[in-house]
């Protein structure tokens, strides 16, 4: 494989959408820290295929991506924010927790809210100081419960996915919070108009054995 700088140069010289996708895929495969700025820049391009490849590459690099991406978010490009939120969700680093909490309920873009809601269920709690975990999990729970009332069904669906993941984490550590998730799922089962969401709630209840405790 060519060295990373050669791969970066190829991305910068790409003169078609297909070539951009190919060169970004090659750069992403390298999983080199020095590729972070270029891959983050690609998130703002109007090329979904290349953005997906960049997201995969950034997630593959992992934790070193988080501080750079937090410092270089494009607040005016909702597409870039959506892709960036997917990166944070995929890495699960709690450094991005505050951003995900706000984005899940406040961002005007449904794709950003959806990615943030799902990502809140994927936080790697072991990377937080033990004393901070209970409060942080309470914040995540409150935010995801609020997101289940979102006007867009895709965001509500993502919130259910996030809550299912959170319930798994809370099984032994905070069963009282887990009980709130169960109560919300049962409530939503009776009034959620989207069949896909009701089916996902049923799956979550059965998958996590939420009614067997």
pLDDT averages per 10-residue partition of the chain, 213 residues: 89 93 95 95 91 96 93 80 90 92 91 92 93 96 97 97 92 88 94 95 86 66
Number of domains in the chain: 2
d(CA 116, CA 97): 9
Q: Which two tokens stand for residue 2?
A: 């060519």
Which residues form the domain of 186? 96-213
Same-domain pairing of 206 and 113: yes
| Residue 105 and residue 151 in contact, taking contact as beta carbons nearer than 8 Å | no
Same-domain pairing of 62 and 135: no
Nearest to 200 by CA among 174, 161, 171, 173: 161
**Angle of CA points 86, 87, 89, to nearest 5°:** 65
d(CA 107, CA 176): 29
Residue 46 has what pLDDT? Answer: 84
How many other β-carbons are positioned within 10 Å of the β-carbon of residue 16? 8
Same-domain pairing of 41 and 15: yes
Same-domain pairing of 109 and 157: yes
Same-domain pairing of 83 and 162: no
Distance of CA 8 to the CA centre of its chain: 26
Same-domain pairing of 78 and 172: no
Residue 1 has what pLDDT? Answer: 65
* End-of-domain residue from the set 91, 122, 157: 91
d(CA 89, CA 85): 6
| Residue 188 and residue 181 in contact, taking contact as beta carbons nearer than 8 Å | no
d(CA 43, CA 51): 5
Same-domain pairing of 35 and 129: no
Report the predicted TM-score, pTM, of the whole model to 2 decimal places: 0.86
């Amino acid at each position: 494989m060519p060295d990373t700088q050669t791969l970066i140069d190829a991305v910068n010289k790409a003169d078609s959408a297909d070539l951009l996708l190919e060169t970004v895929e090659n750069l992403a495969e390298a999983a080199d820290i020095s590729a972070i700025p270029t891959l983050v820049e690609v998130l703002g391009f109007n090329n979904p295929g290349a953005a997906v490849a960049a997201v995969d590459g950034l997630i593959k690099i992992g934790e070193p991506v988080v501080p750079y991406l937090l410092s270089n978010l494009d607040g005016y490009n909702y597409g870039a924010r959506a892709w960036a939120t997917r990166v944070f969700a995929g890495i699960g680093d709690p450094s991005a927790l505050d951003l995900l909490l706000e984005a899940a309920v406040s961002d005007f873009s449904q794709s950003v809210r959806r990615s943030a809601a799902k990502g809140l269920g994927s936080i790697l709690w072991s990377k937080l100081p033990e004393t901070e975990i209970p409060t942080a999990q309470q914040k995540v729970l409150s935010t995801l419960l609020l997101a289940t009332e979102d006007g867009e069904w895709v965001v509500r669906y993502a919130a259910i996915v996030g809550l299912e993941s959170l319930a798994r984490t809370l099984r032994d550590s905070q069963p009282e919070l887990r009980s709130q998730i169960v109560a919300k799922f049962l409530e939503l089962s009776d009034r959620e108009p989207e069949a896909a969401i009701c089916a996902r709630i049923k799956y979550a209840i059965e998958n996590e054995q939420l009614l067997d405790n």
